[in-house]
Amino acid sequence: MIYASSATHGSDAGMTAALWPQGQAAGFATAVQLNPVPAMLVGQDGRIQMANTALEKMFGHGPESLAGQSLHRLLPESARKRHDQLMQTYWTNATQRDMGRGRELFGCRADGKLIPVEIGLAPVNVGDRELIFVTVLDITERKASEHRLLAALDASASAMVLLTRAGEIELLNRAACRILGADPRQLIGTTLDSHVSPDAWTGFDDLREIYFDQPVPKPITGGHVIRLRQPSGQETPVQISLSPTGDDDRAHVMATLVDMSKSFAHEAELKARNDRLAALSDELTQFAYSASHDLRAPLATISGLLELCLEDFDDGEFEECRANIEEALQTSQRNIRKVETVLTLARMGAEGTTPEVVDLTQAITTCWDGLRIPRPAFTLEIDGPAQVLTERVTLMTAVEHLLTNACQFQDPAKPDHWVAVRIRTHSDPCSIAVSDNGAGIPESEIPRIFDIFRRSSASAGDGLGLALVQKHVRRLGGSVAVTSCEEGTTFILTFPGMERRA
């Protein structure tokens, strides 16, 4: 008799008697048999030396029917080959360990039904033989609970990760998988810390330790946002809250990850919108201020002139009276055009024109030829065919203003006068530079030249031209820069997003 449990298995003891010597080995076998946990002893050849009653029952086999059988009897067919390889590997370094960490293991019952199991391995010496003491736990119930828990977690919109005290992921829902960019098989068993972006906040590990000393639900990141990195390198900003779960022995922590991407994107969009509104508001304030001066100014002038006319008329000063009426008339005519330009300026941004393919060389040459003012020498330099997709009228209005200014602010002290345009469309960004060798703009004036109604003392204009240029160029997603010295002035229009067309 070997088995202490021979009372249970009675007459079958004969077979095992052949396999098992008396003495110490018998005592060991008795211990295995008495073990309430399903257990067996397995030889290096993969054959079951003995199995206890609990294991036999679990797998639906008759008493002692497993002794001498291959382990394959307990394995699903699909796992047998891989298991043989694993067993060989195990024997090269046989140590106590648990199997199945991070992946699901199944045993196969006699009736073919699969049971989820957790397996413990320990090498033992029985007599002069090296065996493995194998415990097999049926985790069907636990798996069912986990599935119920997972289903509940999956139903949550938040990403949830169940962590062990060591910070390893034991369970996580779909939302968490999405954030971490991998499937549960790849993630379970890894630490959450290993998914924290290395160049982001790295104190998560320390805070988790502190948390275990005082486990109460709290936002661990304290409102801070940490970035989790996916295997692909994509990062997601999250806020993490921790809640304790389980008892002291199996202390776990449930980490809730709140994906802040959308919130951040929303905030960024709101900020961009606020910035645009603030810019518009500033522009409107500036416009109202300028309008209060510059649109009222001609009316005040006309009013003052007409008052003097009346007085001159009463005094019989008809010549003076006539001169002032003419002056008032000219002022009003000048300002009809000015009001129209102001309205164009105010409407800019609200309305655009449909982008079309514009040959810049042709358009600028035509524009130059069409200027109805005295023109100096002109050169046009290009770095290749210059066809772009843009709003023709918007762009060419800006260029026309710059060409007109370049013609008007020539320096009479210089013997030769010229205007040069340089087009760059074959390097990023596209740019159009309008240069002249004119009188230049005083340095103190440069910061204000684009202000509405700001005009040069040498200009007979209404101070709207460069404001209009800037607004047109900005509408096309570009910017205007200016450099000026005594040798002349260059305006450079730069369009980072402008599309080239063949």
Interface with another protein, residue 305, by CB under 8 A: yes
C-beta closer to another protein: residue 281 or 362? 281
Q: At closest approach, how far in Å is the CB of 330 from another protein?
A: 9
Interface with another protein, residue 303, by CB under 8 A: yes
Q: At closest approach, how far in Å is the CB of 442 from another protein?
A: 7
- Burial readout 51-69 (b: 16 or more C-beta within 10 A, e: otherwise): bbbbbbebbebebbbbbee
C-beta closer to another protein: residue 291 or 492? 291
Helices (H), 389-498: 392-408, 465-475
Interface with another protein, residue 325, by CB under 8 A: no
| Three-class SS state of 114 | strand
Which structure tokens are listed for 323?
Answer: 């001169």
- Decide if 97 contacts 105 (C-beta within 8 A): no
Q: In whole angstroms, give the CA distance from residue 155 to residue 175.
A: 9
**Farthest CA pair distance, the chain:** 150
Interface with another protein, residue 307, by CB under 8 A: yes
C-beta closer to another protein: residue 154 or 327? 327
Q: In whole angstroms, give the CA distance from residue 295 to residue 299.
A: 7
Query: Which residues lie below 8 Å from residue 456, measured CB to CB, with a gap of 6+?
Result: 409, 441, 445, 449
The region of 171-179, 195-203, 303-311, 431-439 touching another protein under the rule CB under 8 A is 303-311
C-beta closer to another protein: residue 383 or 445? 445
**How many residues make contact with another protein (CB under 8 A)?**
25
Q: In whole angstroms, give the CA distance from residue 356 to residue 498.
A: 12
The region of 87-95, 293-301, 430-438, 479-487 touching another protein under the rule CB under 8 A is 293-301
Q: At closest approach, how far in Å is the CB of 460 from another protein?
A: 11
| Three-class SS state of 489 | strand
Contact flags string 244-283 toward another protein, x per CB under 8 A: ----------------------------------------
- Decide if 172 contacts 187 (C-beta within 8 A): yes
Which structure tokens are listed for 144?
Answer: 């069912």
The region of 1-9, 79-87, 184-192, 299-307 touching another protein under the rule CB under 8 A is 299-307
With tokens 């522009």, the residue in question is: 283
Interface with another protein, residue 286, by CB under 8 A: no
C-beta closer to another protein: residue 167 or 298? 298
**Chain residues 437-466 in contact with another protein, contact rule CB under 8 A:** 442, 444-445, 453-457, 459
Q: At closest approach, how far in Å is the CB of 199 from another protein?
A: 48
DSSP state of 71: G
Interface with another protein, residue 44, by CB under 8 A: no
Interface with another protein, residue 294, by CB under 8 A: yes
C-beta closer to another protein: residue 157 or 460? 460
With tokens 């709101």, the residue in question is: 270
- Decide if 94 contacts 132 (C-beta within 8 A): yes
DSSP state of 348: B
Interface with another protein, residue 334, by CB under 8 A: no
C-beta closer to another protein: residue 296 or 322? 296
Among 296, 322, 337, 426, binds another protein (CB under 8 A): 296
C-beta closer to another protein: residue 453 or 491? 453
Neighbour count for residue 278 (Cβ, 10 Å): 10
Interface with another protein, residue 300, by CB under 8 A: yes
- Burial readout 458-480 (b: 16 or more C-beta within 10 A, e: otherwise): eeebbbbbbbbbbbbbbbbebeb
Q: In whole angstroms, give the CA distance from residue 361 to residue 363.
A: 6
- Decide if 197 contacts 238 (C-beta within 8 A): no
C-beta closer to another protein: residue 373 or 460? 460
C-beta closer to another protein: residue 113 or 296? 296
Interface with another protein, residue 293, by CB under 8 A: yes
Interface with another protein, residue 292, by CB under 8 A: yes
Interface with another protein, residue 98, by CB under 8 A: no
C-beta closer to another protein: residue 186 or 292? 292
Q: At closest approach, how far in Å is the CB of 451 from another protein?
A: 11
- Decide if 49 contacts 99 (C-beta within 8 A): no
Q: In whole angstroms, give the CA distance from residue 191 to residue 141.
A: 26
Interface with another protein, residue 404, by CB under 8 A: no
Interface with another protein, residue 335, by CB under 8 A: no
- Decide if 421 contacts 438 (C-beta within 8 A): no
| Three-class SS state of 384 | coil
User: Which residue ranges make up the site for another protein (CB under 8 A)?
Assistant: 289, 292-294, 296-297, 300-301, 303-305, 307-308, 327-328, 331, 442, 444-445, 453-457, 459
